[in-house]
Structure 1
Amino acid sequence: MSIEIVFILLYFAAVIGIGLAVSRRSSRSREGYLLGGRSLGAPVTALRMQATSMSGYMFLGAGGLGYSQGYYGMWFALGDLGGGVLNLSIIGRRMRKLSYLLGSITSIGYLERRYPSVWTKLVAGPIALACLFLYVLAQLLAGGQGFASVTGLGLNISLVIAVSIILIYTFLGGYLAVAYTGFLQSIIMVIGMLWILIATVQHVGGLTAGHESLGDMNANLLTMWGADGQYFGEWGIILGALLIFSIGYMGYPHVNVGHMSMKRPSIARRAGLWSTGFNLLFIPGAYLIGMFALLIVPNLDNPELAIFEVAQVVLPPFAVGLVMAAIMAAIMSTADSILLQAGTIASQDLGGALIKNLSEKAAVNISRLVILVIAIVGLILAMWRPPGVFDLVVFATATMGSAFVPAYVCAVWWKKANTPGAITSMIAGAVGAVGAQIFDTGSMWGMDPMMVGIIASVLGIIIGSLATQKSHPVPPQVLAAVEETMRVAPIPKHLVIGEDATLSTQRPGAAE
């Protein structure tokens, strides 16, 4: 057995062990299984969120972008560097407080409690499920390609192994397993990325020598305008690249649930520091390694395998095993969170709207069944070689960000945001982003799909809310909770609506 496989097996054993350790703590209630009992501190909150959002994209998509477009990829990196702290600063503390006041235990259920109507779930749920499925498909494909590249196993066998491990510890421990393994995975990811970056820079003779060699190959690679200079002055596309992983991050249901699981609202401040530190150490390396891969492994058929190929050239065998564990960590930390969140949406949000008096045990079992089905369907499609990881992640992120960012932000910052406005915003954002990607507005108008979707979504919530203030006012109990959220003070018990509230069955304003 090769040393690479030994390292990976040790890593798999560690994450399964975490699942077993927390299984008893997390399966006793819905809140325990889905939010870890709202018990997480700053380090676990921050690093779990970052590991979840970084995903296989950083080791495949980012490396591939650096390989094909040079420093243009740094536009994405710059947005990503601030994504975590922006999310925690803008909605972290307030979402933790409001979700507790409204008795929300899921990220889509939170939107329904803030914008009371069964239609909020029926619109948000399918959009989230479709995008999360594409996102998990990207992770499965990334995991299979990486595992196969390093171990020499076939792609299909590698996919089955990766999916099996993810399912085991997600089933065992629910959100706590996802959170604590995410924390472990984030540390492994940073070590692996820094190790391969240092070895890569040494291999090309240092940063200066490496850049000089790239400049001799193609001077455009050292600019931020693309390998052919094609993005020079294309500010609509560049702004979209900056926004997709900065504000787009605030539209991820599987990331935002992390706000709701914090022990206290004040955790968000310290979590922002942890998040920023992680990003600075981790993010730039992927793009730099991808660029220098042009010097180390030129003429790759699949640029997304650049980091894998470089690792096998510049690192000793035992280090390749560690880096492979880091890559699997990135992929699995996202896949488990997405699967858990998808199961939650299907069982708690959509299923709960159809099945009355759903017991806690039944809800957890339904969630696990949905996770299994999604994983199997994703596995089958991944075996069919879907589009590249970068394309899948960008498509899903642009659509989720456009659909949900204004709804999440306005939920805690704008008291006039109401149900018709939120629903209009989600539909307009999703349709705008998908339409823009289908019709390639980047080539047609120089406008990134993320920009098109966000503009449509923002206009939707503003116009929709202001036009319906009289006919659909925000319910008094929701308005009181939002106003309390804006205060930095302990949560008054008399304002807590609770999990069993029936806001979802009320027309907005029906309680007046």
Structure 2
Amino acid sequence: MSTVLLVFLVYLVGMVVVGIITARLASKSLDDFILGGRKMWTPVIALSEKGTDMSAWLLIGLPGQAFKMGIGALWAGIGVWLGSFFNWLVIATPLRQLSGKFNALTVPDYFESRFDDTSHLLRIAASILIVFFFTLYVSAQVVGAGKILAATFGIHHVVGMAIGLSIILFYTMAGGFIAESWTDFFQGLIMAGALVLMCIVGVAALGGIGPAFAKIRAVDPNAVLMSAGKTGTALYLGLIIGSLAIGFGYAGQPHIV
């Protein structure tokens, strides 16, 4: 058995164990299952939130964009950071206070109570939108998991998707939000560690930051420019605004807020 496979199996077992342990905590009430009793440890919630919103986009999407256009992809990273900062600064505290006041467990619950909608139209509309768009969103994450497992272990990506989805469904159904938060916490640590380590190893392999930029410039001079080779004010502004706009959606994503 290879070391990579062994580590992966240990990781899967760890996720299952988290689901089993948290199942007892999440079974006390619906509030515990859906929101962790509104008393989760702050570092867990913080890293869980980032692990949730980054996920396959950070490990597959953004590296692919960087490979295609170079450091100009940093504009997207800046946009994500601004969106996250806006959420924590403007939305997080009021939403936490008001959702607690209304005893709202979900975003549709909150809308209905916040605007005193006795017709239930807000709840229905919000629920339909969430189910529709999150079916597409979650599907993309499952596909991402399948592709990573396929590339790592040489299995068919559909098999990888089935493995990833099965584990996620198990610990989520067993431990609810508590299990989801703790697994995301550990996954976030792994993601952050892997990304930092890859940067260090990659730069070291190329001889340092200076030589790394020189070698990249030799392949594509535009790859070391924040403009990504876009000439003219309109194109450059389009790149910046389009990339920064990625962060605008953070305020309306239920799995983040």
Question: Is TM (by shorter chain) over 0.5?
Answer: yes
Using the TM superposition, name which of 198-207 and 112-121 deviates more: 112-121
2:206 corresponding residue in structure 1 = 204
TM-score (norm 1): 0.48
Structure 1 counterpart of 2:250: 249
Residue 75, structure 1, aligned to residue 54, structure 2: no
Gaps of 5+ in 1: 257-512
The residue number in structure 2 matching 1:125 is: 127
Paired AA for residue 255 in structure 2: H
Larger Rg, first or second structure (1 or 2): 1
Partner residue, 1:143: 145
CA gap of 1:252–1:211, structure 2 versus 1, over 3 A, is same
> Paired residue for 2:28?
28
| Residue 51 of structure 2: aligned partner | 51
How far the C-alpha of 1:83 sits from its partner, in A, is 3.1
Q: CA deviation at 1:7?
A: 0.5
User: Would you say 1:10 and 2:10 are equivalent positions?
Assistant: yes
Per the TM alignment, residue 255 of structure 1 is displaced from its structure 2 partner at its CA by 1.1
| 8 Å Cα contact 2:213/2:224 also seen in 1 | yes
The CA deviation at 1:19 is 0.8
- Post-superposition offset of 1:171: 1.1
SS of 1:153 mapped into structure 2: coil
Is the CA contact (8 Å cut-off) linking 1:76 and 1:244 kept in structure 2? yes
Residue 165 of structure 2 corresponds to 163
Amino acid at match of 1:202: A
CA distance in 2, matches of 1:166, 1:78: 30
Tell me if the contact between 1:108 and 1:253 (Cα under 8 Å) persists in the aligned partners.
no
1:240 alignment partner in structure 2: 242
Q: What is the TM-score when the length of structure 2 is the normalising length?
A: 0.94
How far 1:86 sits from its partner (Å)? 2.1
Which aligned pairs between 1:422-501 and structure 2 lie closer than 5 A? none
The DSSP-based 3-state class of the residue aligned with 1:43 is: helix
In structure 2, how many angstroms separate the alpha carbons of the residues matched to 1:43 and 1:80? Answer: 19
Cα offset, 1:243, TM superposition? 2.6
Cα distance between partner residues in 1 of 2:41 and 2:136: 30
Higher helix share: 2
Contact 2:108/2:124 (<8 A) preserved: no
Cα RMSD after superposing both structures: 1.6
Whole-Å Cα distance in 2 between the matches of residues 7 and 231 of structure 1? 49
Give SS of 2:24's match.
Answer: helix
Q: Once the 2 structures are TM-superposed, how far is the Cα of residue 41 of structure 1 from its aligned partner?
A: 2.4
Kept in 1: contact 2:227–2:239 (CA 8 A): no
Answer 1 or 2: higher relative contact order, Cα 8 Å, separation at least 6.
2
- Per the TM alignment, residue 116 of structure 1 is displaced from its structure 2 partner at its CA by 2.8
Note closer, same or farther for the CA distance 1:91–1:24 as it changes in structure 2 (3 Å cut). Answer: same
What code does the residue aligned with 1:165 have? I
The reply to whether residue 183 of structure 1 matches residue 180 of structure 2 is: no
Question: Residue 236 of structure 1: CA displacement?
Answer: 4.2
Q: After TM superposition, give the deviation of residue 175 of structure 1 in Å.
A: 0.6
Residue of structure 2 equivalent to 1:134? 136
Identity of aligned residues (%): 29
**Residues of 2 paired with 1:242 and 1:81: CA distance?**
9
Greater Cα shift, 79-88 or 172-181: 79-88
One-letter code aligned to 1:65: Q
SS in structure 1 opposite 2:91? Answer: helix
Distance in 1 of aligned mates of 2:170 and 2:98: 33
Q: Distance in 2 between matches of 1:159 and 1:179?
A: 21
Deviation at 1:231, TM superposition (A): 7.8
Please state whether the residue corresponding to 2:151 is helix, strand or coil.
helix
Letter matched to residue 72 of structure 2: Y
